[in-house]
A and B are shown apart, each in its own frame.
Chain A
Amino acid sequence: MDRRTLVLLFLLLVSSSLGSSSSSSPDIRVLSAERRIDLTSSIVRVFLTLKVENVGASQASDVLLAFPPTDAEHLAILKASTAEGKRKKKIYVPLSVNPTELPDTPNGAHLFSISLRNPLKTGEAAVLEVLYIITHCLEPFPAEISQSETQFVYYHDSAMLLSPYHVMEQITYIKTPSNKVESYTRVDPTNRAGTELRYGLYHDLPPFSYSPIIVHFENNNPFAVVEELVREVEISHWGNLQVREYYKLKHAGARHKGVFSRVEYQSRPSISGVSSFKHLLARLPPRVHSVYYRDEIGNISSSHLRIGSQKSELEIEPRYPLFGGWKATFVIGYGLPLQDFLFKSPDGKHYLNFSFGCPLLETVVDELTIKVVLPEGSKNPSSAVPFPVNQQLETTYAYLDVVGRTTMVLKKRNIVPEHNIPFQVYYDFNPIFMLAEPLMLVSAVFLFFVACIAYLHIDLSIRKS
């Protein structure tokens, strides 16, 4: 027991003396922190501006961010950037963010470290812009509502920014979708004006200070959650990219209770079923063609497609309006011209450049699987995705496949619209393989005719008549 603590202490000493890699908290303090929490949709977006200063003796190259465990679990995206240049030439440079661990974080708070481009010298300050997105953290209350009620949700957070550093000055703005706020926790100074709630200014907060708040407000935005999405992208070197997307959609808001009355829904649309949603918008690439929208039992006839030069929009309407807790599964499929997405890299490899994420707007995807089906005969597949994903290889069979097609499977959990950024899949492919399947068909037809000729010319009868 004793020895172990000794060893730990020793390790801590070593690490702190080594300095930069895991700078311990007291070296840095936050001069000012401003948090803007956007609660207007079902996805919570937080914009955080931090001004940090190095007060330690050594250089600091990392800045730590802390999250409570519940938030860390639902954290979809965490991006940090810093502004460089002055005024008009100001550009934001992204910084790398990695999860990290420290031994003395209280209550299981999760830490992420932002690596600065230029280490902060003693006494220097820097401004960091952080965006993080949290899903599934708006809790409907009451959990069950009837058709005529509107949906209220709870938002749990802390009035103070959870930080491993000493915070000098801090303020939080919370934006709600409407000014119907049922209740909110007061941590003075607290102020509410219209759709905005303000917590702060707070001064001189010690590290890891936390003061829970609850905001109870109306949110009738569609809580559309795709529980499972499988996107199949099939490459054909004959010029087509075929995409099939299998959705398992759910309304994750307050569950629908009791009757569903069509009369009410039809005649009083403004007060009946306001939290339900009828249609969703999917943004597809331009020049999309042969779009279909169907499910296990056939075509769904209610959808509209608008094709533009920049983007195409597909408005899909599930068979029935989705109330809280109702589910719908469906498939969207479309074709795309290959030259828009398939390129050749300088080293002779082909690569597909396609958008990750879900084409539906403002939708959370719990589990996303992307299957890139490479043409038959392609070799050495590899992928480049801007965030960590699980990947594996499979073999799929389509029309006239003999050896099967190599398929790159990418899996990721908790996807938000901000994940719609391109990823690449590289592979080697010899165009001669394109001819394999036509040749197979040609030879089959040829053999058939040969068989016909042979049959007409051969007399198989035993007895001559």
Chain B
Amino acid sequence: MGAKAENGVKPTPLASPSSSPFPSLKALKLKTKQQELLIRVSALALIYVLAFAVRLFSVLRYESMIHEFDPYFNYRTTLFLTKNGFYEFWNWFDSESWYPLGRIIGGTLFPGLMVTAALIYRALRFLTFAVHIREVCVLTAPFFASNTTLVAYFFGKEIWDAGAGLAAAALIAICPGYISRSVAGSYDNEGVAIFALLLTFYLFVKAVNTGSLAWGLASAFGYFYMVSAWGGYVFIINLVPLYVLVLLITGRYSMRLYVAYNCMYILGMLLAMQIRFVGFQHVQSGEHMAALGVFFLMQVFYFVDWVKYIINDPKLFHSFLRITLTSAIIVGALALGVGMATGYISPWAGRFYSLLDPTYAKDHIPIIASVSEHQPTAWSSFMFDFHILLFLFPAGLYFCFKRLSDATIFIVMYGLTSMYFAGVMVRLILVATPAVCLISSIALSATIKNLTTLIRKKSKAAQTFSTKGISSLKASAKASLDQALPFQRNVAIALLVGAFYLLGRYAIHCTWVTSEAYSSPSIVLAARSAHGGRVIFDDYREAYFWLRQNTPPDAKVMSWWDYGYQITAMGNRTVIVDNNTWNNTHIATVGRAMSSYEDEAYEIMQSLDVDYVLVVFGGVTGYSSDDINKFLWMVRIGGGVFPVIKEPDYLVNGEYRVDKGAAPKMLNCLMYKLSYYRFGELTTEYGKPTGYDRARGVEIGNKDIKLEYLEEAFTTSNWIVRIYKVKPPKNRW
């Protein structure tokens, strides 16, 4: 159409060149290649903005705030970093957590996230943007999600073509599996780590494809960034050697691979050792041994290759190969055995075990099993997080196998391994998401490309038919005879429409999931009132702010470990245990105190210098993730270390109850008393007896609770957080 209009104008040449815009437009007309570049760049720019914007639901709906639990620790450390500088941060001994043990912050955290946020903050300040560090922290995750789309584009381009890259960028921009950890306010390690992970993989694949030392170096730095940001780097350091091993076995060994892997491994390892939390684990821990083994194998491979070239005699070479291989294996096994036996090489950590064996944590480490995001994944959550990608993924695998190359082998391995891990733990869906998006984008891109070529072929024929008229009728008839299938064009169009329909559904689903499921800060709870209005329960902050303002600055607060980070960050008070669950005994002590009788608990609290006890209680509002519902985990964790606490004491016929039929120990333990103190006087729901617990839907069993060693210090307006003061010891004379 456009061409025709232009033709129509042309016959009136230069009537008034100054007034007519057409000549200048014509001069501006881009070449096809430039057009394609323009479309690609603008599509990418739109995706970049989209990835950022879709993550802002929580900011618009609530406010610019930090979410959940761990992000509060990250925020607090970032605040410290920006205030006191890097050296103070690196040497920070935090006496506010894990009282009386304290915590060496610099040596027990991955500093990548905080340093990144602090650098962004400094850069913005340098550009005279007077932003608050909180805003930077809130928007770090969306910003890195946007950057991830760019990496996904380049990665897709590297393994397939630019179309697949664009599709990958678009898919990953709104994939719920990734959004769940990168909405605005979710200031957690994963936010930058997925970017770092994908960047490292991309750079490594690029290095393998080109054999260039520069790309290898870049991938080492990407790996360094990943190590500094998240413990999930272990996945990289195991996947990459596995990939190399597979290439060696399938006979795809090349000099490119040798350069890429050695450069990445050696430099990456040396750089990673600079992170204090990781230290010498790369040479000492069992989880990192695979990479070391493959590194030596690679040298042997190269050496053997060289010997083969020197000897140039197959028979001699074979005997040589036998001797070297056996000796190499023996030496390796010996070294590993000696290392393990002397304790130089540590065995695998519990979390690593629980990845390989999903039932391990349940039997051995209750503290890992108690976290909901460590549970095995249900099918529904796969569907929820991936939607159509779940069907595109196998199709993409098919296309990858059809056009096998070093790069596609990598993405296939990444996809398959990460899918396995995603099945073991809910939170690892996050790691699988980029792979799933990339592989799906290959399927998508390849399918659409095939379909459109079919349609275009046909339409070209149609065009020739219309222009040349009757004279070329025969030729077109011939062309249509070439087609193998009837209605091919219609089917192709139908399929294309179907594909776009599915993509549309995907976009709708992603937006819906983001807005409904993943954009709640969990500090502020929102509910619908009977009149349809929005009710906000801001009890957590009410309690934390009360602690911050109205308790002595050195007060020690005991609570279950979930709230530790929030109390230190928002309440600015010392806590006994927090979300960094490094000391199981300490947590078990708190669990024991919560599940003992008041007088026994008082002794424990005295020994820990506790001034205030904080419990979360949902009986008034019907908030179900409160301490009574978490209580069995306290009993289990406490009982794991102190056998005095026995789980059956709190159950009646294996059933957990809080009403009249509850176990006597349950009705008189500290947690029960603190949760339900004076709750028996309150009518929570019309037509129900007093002391009706709305979270569990029962009338409580012990309405007459007397506290002897503690007194109520503060209860929030909806009773969600209750704080008790520990009385000083009685005067004995």
Contact = CB atoms under 8 A, between A and B. Distances in A.
A128 to B, nearest CB: 45
Size bracket, chain B contacts: 20 to 34
Contact of B719 (A262, A301, A320, A397): A262
B243 interface: no
A55 to B, nearest CB: 58
Interface residues of A, number: 29
Contact of B716 (A320, A329, A398): A320
A259 B714 CA distance: 8
B424 to A, nearest CB: 36
B546 interface: yes
B380 interface: no
B128 to A, nearest CB: 5
Contacts of A295: 545
Given A298-B63, A319-B541, A400-B129, A328 B678 contact: no
A301 B682 contact: no
B555 to A, nearest CB: 14
Nearest to A326: B550
A397 B128 CA distance: 8
Contacts of B524: 301
B712 interface: yes
Nearest to A294: B63
B498 to A, nearest CB: 39
B711 to A, nearest CB: 5
A397 B715 contact: no
Contact of B713 (A260, A299, A301): A260
B130 A397 contact: yes
A295 B549 CA distance: 12
Q: Is the interface of B mostly helix, strand, loop or mixed?
A: mixed
B570 interface: yes
Contacts of B63: 298-299
Contacts of B682: 263, 266-267
Given A319-B546, A326-B549, A401 B719 contact: no
B94 interface: no
Given A263-B678, A263-B681, A297-B545, A399 B712 contact: no
A103 interface: no
Nearest to A440: B128
Interface in A325-360: 325-329
B65 interface: yes
B624 to A, nearest CB: 21
A167 B546 CA distance: 53
Contacts of A402: 128
B542 interface: yes
B550 A319 contact: no
B73 interface: no
B213 to A, nearest CB: 16
B82 to A, nearest CB: 15
A300 B539 CA distance: 11
Contact of A328 (B130, B544, B545, B714): B545
Nearest to B539: A319
B128 A401 contact: yes
A267 B678 CA distance: 12
Which of B541, B681, B716 is the most central at the interface, judged by chain A CB atoms within 10 Å of its CB?
A: B541
Interface of A: 258-263, 266-267, 295-302, 319-320, 325-329, 397-402
Given A301-B524, A319-B545, A320-B546, 11 more contacts: A260-B714, A266-B682, A267-B682, A295-B545, A302-B538, A319-B538, A327-B549, A398-B130, A400-B129, A401-B130, A402-B128
Interface of B: 63, 65, 128-130, 523-524, 536, 538, 541-542, 544-546, 548-550, 570, 678, 681-682, 711-717, 719
Top 5 A-B residue pairs of the complex, sorted by shortest distance between their CB atoms = A262-B715, A319-B542, A299-B63, A327-B549, A297-B570
